[in-house]
Amino acid sequence: MADPTRRAVIETLLKGPASVSDLHAPHAMAMPSFLKHIRKLEDAGLVTSQKTGRTRMIHIEAAPMRAAEDWLSRQRKLWEGRLDRLQTLAEALERKPQ
Amino acid sequence: MADPTRRAVIETLLKGPASVSDLHAPHAMAMPSFLKHIRKLEDAGLVTSQKTGRTRMIHIEAAPMRAAEDWLSRQRKLWEGRLDRLQTLAEALERKPQ
DNA sequence: TGATTACTTAGCCATATGGCTAACCAACTT
DNA sequence: AAGTTGGTTAGCCATATGGCTAAGTAATCA
């Protein structure tokens, strides 16, 4: 979910639930194109929606957001480990330059 | 650079520089396909290479690795902020259920 | 009822991604 | 010199992604 449109939608939804057209407004893109992004967010479970009358309200889902943050945390630790190993490697190469 | 092949290559290179064929060996993929991944890593600056005779050695680059970790750090903080706002939002919605 | 609004469906298009084979060159090995 | 090895180039292919238009449906407004 690295897509800028999708990220912006998430960001907007943090201010509260919104209708599809509200969410659509700031994006210079045709509705059907935009709807695809909403569908992907729904498929990913980041967002839920319910239709009342002819408007569909989109709500952000807390659980997967927390999951996303956990994932980032874990990734960061992984990279920390990598940097450590890189450090070790650099030192090893320095000791035997050839 | 979310591709699993590329990630595995980086992981291997943390053990030290390696030739293209060494890196290729564990991946069930034709050489030209694999080479494309190496090229992308080079284009992204994560890796450098030099050819001696007919073999090309690939080296990992420290600076962009550090940059990657910084980026992850920043992202994590962003998501922390988002979770905070989500919390606030949830509380607000609870107070006025309709 | 007729028009407008808010989506929705269907289908087309360009580009990107990750894979393949075939053929090639250059550098060793025998 | 002939063969093998390590890498490279070129070009094809399937699928995915992110965009579009055109045409629909259903709800609400005038």
Q: How many CB pairs under 8 A join A and B?
A: 63
The alpha-carbon gap from B72 to the nearest alpha carbon of chain A, in Å, equals 6
> Is the model's pLDDT at B12 over the cut of 60?
yes
Residues contacting B65, CB < 8 A, separation 6+: A79, A82, A83, A86, B46
Q: Identify the residue with better confidence: A8 or B97.
A: A8
ipTM: 0.80
Residues A33-78 have pLDDT tens digits of 999 999 999 999 999 999 999 999 999 999 988 888 888 888 889 8
- Residue by residue, what is the 3-state secondary structure of chain A? CCCHHHHHHHHHHCCCCEEHHHHHCCCCCCHHHHHHHHHHHHHCCCEEEEEECCEEEEEECHHHHHHHHHHHHHHHHHHHHHHHHHHHHHHHHHHCCC
User: How much is the pTM?
Assistant: 0.83
Q: Which amino acid is at B38?
A: I
Q: Which amino acid is at B50?
A: Q
**Confidence label for B98 from pLDDT (cuts 50, 70 and 90):** very low
Q: Give A56's strand partners.
A: A51
Closest nucleotide to A33: CA versus each C1' = D19
Q: Say how far A61 CA is from C10 C1', in Å.
A: 30
Query: What's the CA gap between A33 and A12, in Å, rounded?
Result: 18
Interface of A with B in 7-66 (CB under 8 A): 10-11, 14-16, 60, 62, 65-66
